[in-house]
A and B are shown apart, each in its own frame.
Chain A
Amino acid sequence: MSSRRSRSRQSSSSRITDDQIYDLVSKLHQLLPELRSRNSDKVSAAKVLQETCNYIRSLHKEVDDLSERLSELLATTDSAQAAIIRSLLMQ
């Protein structure tokens, strides 16, 4: 495989077809919670990508919030209670 180093953006190689891209984009579209309810066969790729970015950002934010919540909970939870919880989960 050749490697290219370019400073300017170039158009894509001919190996990737538009159909392939559309398939991948619609596969992504299936995963997004908001767009699933709106049943539309043709969604613009830009909209799907935009929704994807927003969704990933919201997931990151949720991870942050949950981590914060867990760190506060770890500080206050009794250790015996924590052991019970862990044994329940690890059955």
Chain B
Amino acid sequence: MDLHNLNPSSLKSRFTTRFLRALTEINARKPIASSSSPREIFQRYRRIKDAADTSMAYSVRSRRTWSKATLWRLRTPSHRRRLASFGRRSSLNKTRTTTTASHRGAVVVQITSRGGGLGVQLEELRELVPGGEAMDLCNLLDETAHYIKCLTTQVQVMRTIANLYSLE
């Protein structure tokens, strides 16, 4: 991947900039001890992962349901999230979600046995894509495509940064 010829307005470049900035903050916030306890490493891992997800969610140009759901999930503490799930069984509890209106009041459509038993895979997909529980089928598939595209970009950039950091 050639980083020096990045189109400055591309998703990859926006994400890279944000993510590097976040990494700098994480680095600065905690002084790097030469012997980090496993707990510190775990906390840093969580911060880096959340920073990566947040950076990507912010970097998408058109606000997508999955990006909004990601930001909401990362900013809202879990006890408030449980309250907000009133009327909708949260997928955090691993139970089947009922259909409710999404926050925009769109009609929610449930597919049962259309196309020969798509139900199970759709359920899985809804759990995997952030905000997937409240989307209808068309939007879900559309958001999934966009989500996959952004995830691959995220992985590419993170891998490059990690490779650069491990150069001696």
Interface residues of A (CB under 8 A from B): 1-7, 9-13, 16, 18, 20-21, 24-25, 27-28, 31, 44-46, 49-50, 52-53, 55-57, 59-60, 62-64, 66-77, 79, 82, 85-86, 88-91
Contacts and interface: CB of A to CB of B under 8 A. Distances in A.
Contacts of A53: 121, 124-125, 128
| Majority SS at the chain A contact face | helix
A66 B158 contact: yes
A27 to B, nearest CB: 6
Q: What range describes how many residues of B lie at the interface?
A: 35 or more
Interface in B95-118: 98-101, 105-112, 114-118
B101 A6 contact: no
B138 interface: yes
B20 interface: yes
B98 A7 contact: yes
B118 A6 contact: no
B118 A72 contact: no
Interface string B126-168: 0011000000111001101101110110110011011011100
A7 B110 CA distance: 11
Nearest to A11: B112
12 contacts: A4-B107, A4-B108, A9-B112, A18-B115, A21-B141, A24-B145, A25-B141, A64-B49, A67-B45, A69-B162, A69-B166, A77-B165
Contacts of B59: none
Interface of B: 3-4, 16-17, 20, 23-24, 26-27, 32-33, 36, 40-42, 44-45, 47-49, 52-53, 87, 98-101, 105-112, 114-119, 121-122, 124-125, 128-129, 136-138, 141-142, 144-145, 147-149, 151-152, 154-155, 158-159, 161-162, 164-166
B17 A24 contact: no
A90 to B, nearest CB: 7
A56 B106 contact: no
Contact of A85 (B109, B121, B152, B164): B164
Nearest to A78: B32
A50 B17 CA distance: 34
A67 B49 contact: yes
Given A52-B144, A59-B152, A90-B20, A71 B44 contact: yes
Given A69-B162, A88-B164, 12 more contacts: A9-B111, A9-B119, A16-B137, A27-B145, A28-B141, A28-B148, A31-B148, A46-B117, A56-B129, A63-B53, A66-B158, A91-B4
